[in-house]
Chain A
Amino acid sequence: MATKNGLSRPQLSFIDSDRFQVVVMTHAYGRRCGVRYMTNGLKVYYVPRLPFLMQNTLPTLYGTFPIIRNILIREGITVVHGHQAFSTLCHEALLHARTMGYKVVFTDHSLYGFADLGSIHMNKVLQFTLADVHETICVSHTSKENTVLRSGLPPQKVFVIPNAVDTAMFKPNPSARMLDEVVIVVISRLVYRKGADLLVEVIPEVCRLFPNVRFLVGGDGPKRVRLEEMREKHSLQERVEMLGAVPHTQVQSVLVRGHIFLNSSLTEAFCIAILEAASCGLLTVSTRVGGVPEVLPPDMIVLAEPVPENMVEAIGRAIKLLPKIDPFSMHDRMRTLYSWTDVAKRTEVVYDHAMNARDEDLLQRLSRYFECGPWAGKLFCLVVILDFIIWNILEWWKPTKEADIAPDMIHHNEIEHQ
């Protein structure tokens, strides 16, 4: 039985098979704190921590060690799987898990540049974590190139496993569409990185060129004001509908009202929104950035450079293509192209790789950290040594033998049913 923590949710329900059992650990959301069981029996630990801004938490480095150690021991964990380079909990959990000798896997979902100060800092943190990770998963080949460059990992240790889409949740419904018009749907956070400024340029021009086009804009964010200004300036209130934030359960009902899905991101490692749109039978128009060109076959997506003129031209091409698009055949194709079961199987292979990795002592690990850089290397070593000392103190204070082992609840219930 192997368990790990912090997996993205849809992936989880499929990985929960005979060979692997999953326990999730994340930080507390508002009043949601403590241990919870999801409807499918998935056990989630909400670690009490204080998010300070937009669900971000302050790094504590060693503060979470006791509770992470407790969970790892109680649940009889064998593999720890951390997600997202921006999550401090992930970095801390992986560090502590390595100190305790667990096998660890890391998934990277984002792309970074190499120039600005923020990226340089994050890349150093990532280098620290990845110096001692057994296997790494990236969501696209572009993401893999980026991660390899940032962390200096050998490319053979980085697996590319995309996200998938729950096609059963995203079914087309052509009856929700208007017959005499073309509806272009945009669903994204309205922020700079998602290209909201590009939308401000593109929407009026498309409305001018194609009188039968309407826009549906779902999402909220700091750039919403700019979009609303644009709508008033060009008197497009009738043709641009602003829906505000759309909860994930209602995304499908918004998507099926449209013919074309427009993604204007300036950077994107994978873009799951495109998959959801394609699964609903929409033709996608997207900026050619990051991993987007890898996500769909060329006949299901129209790509353009993130320049307003090119985007408008691409939307024009997409409108011409529309009569040839059958939403149901598109949906069926998506079912063959993406499935969470496939993703889960491929992830299990990575876990097997990690579990077969050989055990290493502190000195072997330290030599790897030491190579991270003339200054950073030594700093990393200090952090790891201190973590090792704290682990030994914890072992002496609350020995593993005396830990309260969690009973296997699902297994238990099944026996009762029989």
Chain B
Amino acid sequence: MGKSMGKERESAQNLHHHCINQQQNSDVSPGPKWQKVVYGGMQPGYEDNHTDSSFLEAMVMNANVVKRDTWTAIRDSVAIAQYVCVVAMVSAVWTYSLNGVLDASLLLILDSLLLLFGFVVLLLTTVFQTLTSSISSDSIWALTVCLLMVHLCFHDYIDSSTRPPPAFTASRGTKSNDLSRKLAVKKPATLSGNVSLNASIVASVLVASRLPSGLLVFALMLFSSEFFLLFPLVTCSMKQYSVKLHLWFSCVLIAVTMGLIFPLNRLALVLFVVVVIFIMLVCPYWLIRIQEYKFEINGPWDEAKLCFDLD
């Protein structure tokens, strides 16, 4: 894939040089200079397939490409790793509750903050507890893992990325830039964000349906909802307050999660570490590496962008 993109770009660049060379060869032809116009019939001395040296002169390559550096990429990836931690941590808590290690009252103290929201969940606990009694535990676990993957994939990470200004700003694009900034401020609810949240809630319901006591179901549901729903808000504001705090907090979170997974399963721990390393080191490196294949073409054939608000 990358190879072919590089090849394409090369060919576009060659095209330009090629045309210029061609022109130098055929410069011998006397008569008026060629003009980039189509009126007045065929231009004397030039065939209709004449390719002038000005061919593709107005082409601009990679005008809006954002320059990336490794450090920013890694810093941004921390937020994703952090969220993987959240999911892993919640899963670990689920497992502890299922194994009977975790006490319902302990869990309740953890999440006693959200009372109003909690009452709604309390009313539904009996329903959740018997919801999937006819389904085998294996299916429940498989489904939960799938749902958590969906949750991770579709989670809205937009808040966590730093947006540097484009390397080059077109003259007519100055106003539209303002517009895009405005749009970024009032963040719209995305479809993927909703899918992600729903997947996480369904996953918690599935796990809750396997728990022995109603109170534990309640506590666990509250715990999951708090983490999946409210935790992103906390981390986001934390990051806005201080990036350093955000990084330290992520490190602590990774350590805590590892500590929670360790007694459960060694293989799970190894998997977790591999995933974190992949997200925080391999992916940023990969992203920087493939930047050289970035190939964007702009030119007079582009549809003009309107620089004012429609409506």
Point out the residues of chain B lying under 8 angstroms from A139, CB to CB.
Answer: 38
User: Is A146 a contact of B299 with CB atoms below 8 Å?
Assistant: yes
**In the assembly, what is the distance between CA of A155 and CA of B17, in Å?**
12
Q: Is B24 an interface residue (CB 8 A)?
A: no
| Residue ID in chain B nearest A347 by CB atoms | B48
Q: Is A211 an interface residue (CB 8 A)?
A: no
Binding site for A on B (CB under 8 A): 1, 3-4, 8, 11-12, 15, 19, 36-42, 47-49, 51, 55-56, 58-59, 172, 296-297, 299-308, 310
**In the assembly, what is the distance between CA of A270 and CA of B296, in Å?**
24
Q: Which of A141-185 contact B (CB under 8 A)?
A: 141-146, 148-149, 152, 155-162
Point out the residues of chain B lying under 8 angstroms from A152, CB to CB.
Answer: 8, 11
User: Is B51 a contact of A155 with CB atoms below 8 Å?
Assistant: yes
**In the assembly, what is the distance between CA of A140 and CA of B38, in Å?**
6
Q: Is A306 an interface residue (CB 8 A)?
A: yes
User: Is A112 a contact of B306 with CB atoms below 8 Å?
Assistant: no
Point out the residues of chain A lying under 8 angstroms from B300, CB to CB.
Answer: 142, 145, 289-290
User: Is A336 a contact of B40 with CB atoms below 8 Å?
Assistant: yes
**In the assembly, what is the distance between CA of A198 and CA of B49, in Å?**
35
Q: Is A117 an interface residue (CB 8 A)?
A: no
**In the assembly, what is the distance between CA of A140 and CA of B59, in Å?**
16
For this complex, 23 residue pairs linking A to B, each with C-beta atoms less than 8 Å apart, are A111-B302, A113-B301, A141-B37, A141-B38, A141-B55, A142-B301, A145-B56, A145-B59, A145-B301, A149-B12, A149-B297, A149-B299, A155-B19, A155-B49, A155-B55, A156-B51, A159-B47, A195-B304, A197-B310, A287-B304, A295-B38, A305-B304, A338-B39
User: Is B38 a contact of A160 with CB atoms below 8 Å?
Assistant: yes
Task: Count A-B pairs with CB separation below 8 Å.
Answer: 115
Report the minimum CB–CB distance from A229 to chain B (whole Å).
10
Q: Which of B48, B58, B59, B299 contacts A350 (CB 8 A)?
A: B48
User: Is B304 a contact of A148 with CB atoms below 8 Å?
Assistant: no
Report the minimum CB–CB distance from A248 to chain B (whole Å).
22
Q: Which of A145, A201, A346 contacts B308 (CB 8 A)?
A: A201
A114-B39 contact given A305-B172, A350-B48, CB 8 Å threshold: no
Q: Which of A140, A161, A266, A350 contacts B306 (CB 8 A)?
A: A266
**In the assembly, what is the distance between CA of A141 and CA of B8, in Å?**
22
Report the minimum CB–CB distance from B304 to chain A (whole Å).
4
Point out the residues of chain A lying under 8 angstroms from B59, CB to CB.
Answer: 145, 149
Q: 6 shortest A-B CB distances, which residue pairs?
A: A162-B38, A155-B51, A146-B301, A111-B301, A306-B304, A267-B303
User: Is B49 a contact of A159 with CB atoms below 8 Å?
Assistant: yes
User: Is A156 a contact of B49 with CB atoms below 8 Å?
Assistant: yes
Point out the residues of chain B lying under 8 angstroms from A342, CB to CB.
Answer: 41-42
Point out the residues of chain A lying under 8 angstroms from B40, CB to CB.
Answer: 336-337
Point out the residues of chain B lying under 8 angstroms from A349, CB to CB.
Answer: 48
User: Is B42 a contact of A198 with CB atoms below 8 Å?
Assistant: no
What are the interface flags for A83-116 relative to B under an 8 Å C-beta threshold, 1 for contact and 0 otherwise?
0000000000000000000000000000111110
